[in-house]
Chains A and B, each alone.
Chain A
Amino acid sequence: MSVILEAKDVHVRFGGVIALRGVSLDLKKGELLALVGPNGSGKTTLLNCICGFYRPQRGTITYKGMDITKTPVHKRAQMGIGRTFQTPYVFPGTVLDNIMAGYMTKHGGILKSLSFKGITEAREYAEKLIDFVELEPYRTAHAEGLAMGLRKKVELARVLMWDPDVLLLDEPTSGLSIDEKRDMARFVLELNEVLGKTVLLVEHDMSLVHDVAHRVVVLDTGVKIAEGSPEEVVKNPAVIKAYLGE
């Protein structure tokens, strides 16, 4: 498997706080990689570096062989990187509006998106995604008023609108009920196994990670402390120490 995305020796510092110190990570094409670690270990920071919200003080991010360390966020999205957030970001408007907005990213800007053809195309594609994430009853509901589980689905569908190759999912199952969790796990698996998306999953639920991930990377206080198959990682003494203390 070829490496599609690589972070090399990434350092991030916020004033006196060092969030990441020299973390390297490679994501192979078609892989489902889980990124785990205790709170404050730098998982989300790393995700933000990859999608372009933060610029690392040191280190490089390479995507499909190109150095994208200095590429702006929206360009990275157009190149095929999509991400969702731990607390989903939806804007005022209906579920349909929210999802259709994703169309602009890939299909060439505002003008085309506002044309009749663009809107038709976007709606058609959005409906397929609504079918995929099972949001039919909420098509015209206001996205902001929806429950967490539904907003997460809206966000996922919006990311999928531009058909990214790499998906960065930041705790997609946090705050969800058991049923919603199962649904979300199914979506992630289907995206990876059927649609061939490369997925970087930040997740706290270890049983979920164990069930779905091909490979796990563990961070603790900004340092990578372990890497390997889910079975290996949970037995690793450094990981146990990080999670449970001495």
Chain B
Amino acid sequence: MSLEAVTAKKVSKELPEWVKEALKSAPEEIIDVCYGEDVKVELPAEDTFLKLLVKFAKTRGDETALREKEYGIWQRISWRDYLENVKSFALGLTALGFEKDDKITLIGDNRPEWLYTYLGAEAALGIPFGVYQDNLPEQLLPLITNSKSRWVYCEDQEQTDKILSIIKELPELEKVIVEDWTGMWRYRENPMIISFREVQELGRKLAQKEPNLFEENVNRQTRNDLACFVTSSGTTGTPKCVMLSFENMMYMGLAMQKVVPMGPDDRYFSFLPFAWIGEQMMSLSCGLTAGFTVNFYEEPETVWRDFREVGPTIMFGPPRIWRDIVAQIQVKIADSGWLRRKVFDLALKAGYARVELEFKGMKIPFWLKLVKPLCYVLAFRSVLDKVGLRRMRHAYTGGAQVSIDDFKFLRSMGVNIKQIYGQSEISGISCLHRDGEVDPWTAGKPLPGTVIAITKTGEIISKSPAVMKGYYDRPSSKAIVNDWLYSEDFGMVDAKGHLICVDRMADIIVLQDGTRVPPQHLENRLKFSPYVREAMVLDHGKPYVTAILNIHPENTGKWAEDHNIPYTGYVDLSQKPEVYDLMEKVVKDVNRDLPDSMKIRKFTILYKEFHADDDEMTRTRKLRRPLIRQRYKEVIDALYSDANEISFLGEVKYEDGRRDMVRVKMQIRKVE
């Protein structure tokens, strides 16, 4: 986003009636507003996920609802089987003593069984709560206790072991339901553990005794019932349990489809963690309202191959996934022959020229229009096919700031990638780019029926039928006032009526002279360098800006090898003087375009990467700034002293749970 826009003068707007109406309830003075189309979004008569599923099982029983690759073959699951699986699992839960409003925590990779459990819990009148599968046991504990879950669904032995290691602290727990029993034959005697199939077996028995129970339960539910808990992003601590109703989720899905039409012929590939609202939004909110096929990979290692086999038509992924795809393309191009590389580069140049004009909203000259299909056929089509993007109609990125370079690259190749803005608290997304109005600096316009306003302090607040019912574990939270959701995001509206989300409110750095610096803006510029994996810019109330950097181990490692710099591991590599020189260049490049007060004056390279296992990041790779500031206080203090280096005793946690202390000397590099 451009800094000029931060101070851009506000355009007075003629607001439509319905927006004025919505603004009447605004809890405080607002300085700007943006809104979506005035289109009525009506929920269908089937106003819960399960009613929709029952409908599809009746009307399209034999068509494919889900597809999973197993034993090397795509196995299809029809809508009828989908319903049957959900039904038997739901009744099985009831047979086990699952009561109304019971909560079940779901931990696992993307599998159809995850959806069966999720929808089954809803059909048993309970509430599913998906959490990230790479959470450590001590990170799972507060999530399970805060959501008051009495049931846990685990995908496999790994997840089961995590639960068993904290089971003493979970006295309320009824049963742990395990799907994949590979390597778990010794767990059979444990009375707490039951297999997914056994639960379904119990359900089938109950179905014979009470054949109408499932339908009765499904029909008892309405749009106002809670559909699920979703974790909040958790940048400030343990993620909270966001309560979403069926209306919230379905409204969001339907409103999105007003902008992005989706239908039964679309293909969707589910591979991002289900705990992420974005994935639930696509697989459930959109999947069940539009009725498209959801595909699942075979193993996490085969994701990209399976992705290509499916050839999805719609996709929503965080920036790191797009980064992966761009890297895949770049590697493939670099490996190809001279002629192909030349053709590709030329085509990309034409693409860049077109995209730049598009972003500025200018008219595209005739010759560029003419060249586009030619470039596609000659250069891009086969490349896009190799990475599985050839059939992509609508690709979305969100959840964090996308790298502008990646964004331009993909658009130049003809991938229709667009940005969104959203959060768990608003059932997924609230703003998105419309076709023909793509601008990498903004997140687009709000969804139909959604109004977004900016308060005097610059906070983004939104009003929409998709706004959550509250936090389950924090009933006193002040996140919703008069139906307006406070996002804690700092943002503004540009002249086109697009929302620009700058950063988290709490993260905006205020320097001693009063300059407000959005750290993400600087950090993303630093991260454009392939050698920087992560960066944190500092700090409140200090005279100048400094940064803590994480090097990118593969790329910097490659660079070191190319320059004959030997190293042993990450710690060693990160502290090489040559690497500091390299980083100094990166920082200087970033500084060049910045006003004096925002220039990064000093930096250091951390001996380790910020990692979610150390609580330094959320599972979606957002920095937990307060914790980092506290943990690396000595380092930060050194950055604001005259020291040239800092000796720091840091803890390292290995993947197998071992901990170790290391003493490292880190340089403090001054940037002139």
Contact = CB atoms under 8 A, between A and B. Distances in A.
Interface of A: 124, 127-128, 130-131, 134, 136-137, 139, 186, 190, 193-194
B554 interface: no
A139 B185 contact: no
Contact of B298 (A124, A136, A186): A136
Given A136-B302, A137-B299, A137-B301, A128 B185 contact: no
A137 B302 contact: yes
Contacts of B366: none
Nearest to A186: B183
Interface of B: 70-73, 183, 185-186, 298-299, 301-302, 305
Nearest to A139: B72
A117 to B, nearest CB: 18
Nearest to A193: B185
Contacts of A124: 71
Residue from the set A124, A127, A136, A194 with the largest chain B CB neighbour count within 10 Å: A136
* Interface pairs A-B: 7 shortest CB-CB: A127-B71, A137-B301, A136-B299, A194-B185, A186-B183, A137-B302, A136-B298
A127 B305 CA distance: 17
5 contacts: A130-B71, A136-B72, A137-B302, A137-B305, A186-B183
B183 A128 contact: no
Nearest to A123: B72
B107 to A, nearest CB: 20
Judged by DSSP, the binding face of A is helix
Contacts of B183: 186, 190
Contacts of A194: 185
A105 B611 CA distance: 50
B108 to A, nearest CB: 17
Given A127-B71, A134-B299, A193-B185, 4 more contacts: A124-B71, A127-B72, A130-B71, A136-B302
Contacts of A128: 71
Contacts of A137: 299, 301-302, 305
Contacts of B302: 136-137
A50 B478 CA distance: 75
B671 to A, nearest CB: 41
A186 B181 CA distance: 13
A137 B72 CA distance: 10
Nearest to A131: B71
Contact of B301 (A136, A186, A190): A136
A131 B69 CA distance: 12
A190 B70 CA distance: 21
Nearest to A183: B183
Nearest to A178: B656
Nearest to B298: A136
Contacts of A134: 299
A139 B305 CA distance: 12
A23 B302 CA distance: 48
B46 to A, nearest CB: 37
B332 to A, nearest CB: 18
A41 to B, nearest CB: 32
Contact of A130 (B72, B185, B186, B301): B72
A137 B73 CA distance: 13
Contacts of B71: 124, 127-128, 130-131
Contacts of B305: 137
